[in-house]
Amino acid sequence: MRTAGHAEWTKLRTDAANGWLVLGVVVLTVAVGATVAMTSRCDAVGCGGDPTRLSLTGVLAGQVVVAIVAVLMVGNEYGTGMMRTTITAVPRRPTVLVSKAAVLSAVMLAAGSVSVLGSLLVGRIVQPGRGFTAAHGFEALSLTDGPTLRAAVGSVLYLVLIGLLGLGVVVVVRNSATAIGIVLALLFVFPILAQVVPDPDWQRHLQQLAPMTAGLAVQTTVDVDALPVGPWQGLGVLALWAAGALAAGGWLLEARDA
What is the spatial distance between Cα 43 and Cα 82, in angstroms, rounded to a whole number? 57
pLDDT at 24: 96
Specify the pTM: 0.94
Nearest CA to 109 out of 145, 162, 182 is that of 162
What is the spatial distance between Cα 148 and Cα 140, in angstroms, rounded to a whole number? 10
**DSSP secondary-structure letter at 2?**
H
Helical H segments across the chain, by residue range? 2-14, 16-39, 51-55, 59-80, 82-89, 93-126, 146-173, 176-196, 200-209, 211-215, 231-255
- 195 to each of 186, 188, 206, how far by Cα in Å? 15, 11, 10
pLDDT lower than 50: segments of the chain:
none
What is the spatial distance between Cα 120 and Cα 37, in angstroms, rounded to a whole number? 10
pLDDT at 258: 64
- 175 to each of 122, 162, 182, 188, 209, how far by Cα in Å? 38, 18, 11, 20, 26
Question: In whole angstroms, what separates CA 77 from the centre of its chain?
Answer: 23
Residue range 172-220, pLDDT digits in tens: 999 999 999 999 999 999 889 888 888 888 899 999 999 999 999 999 9
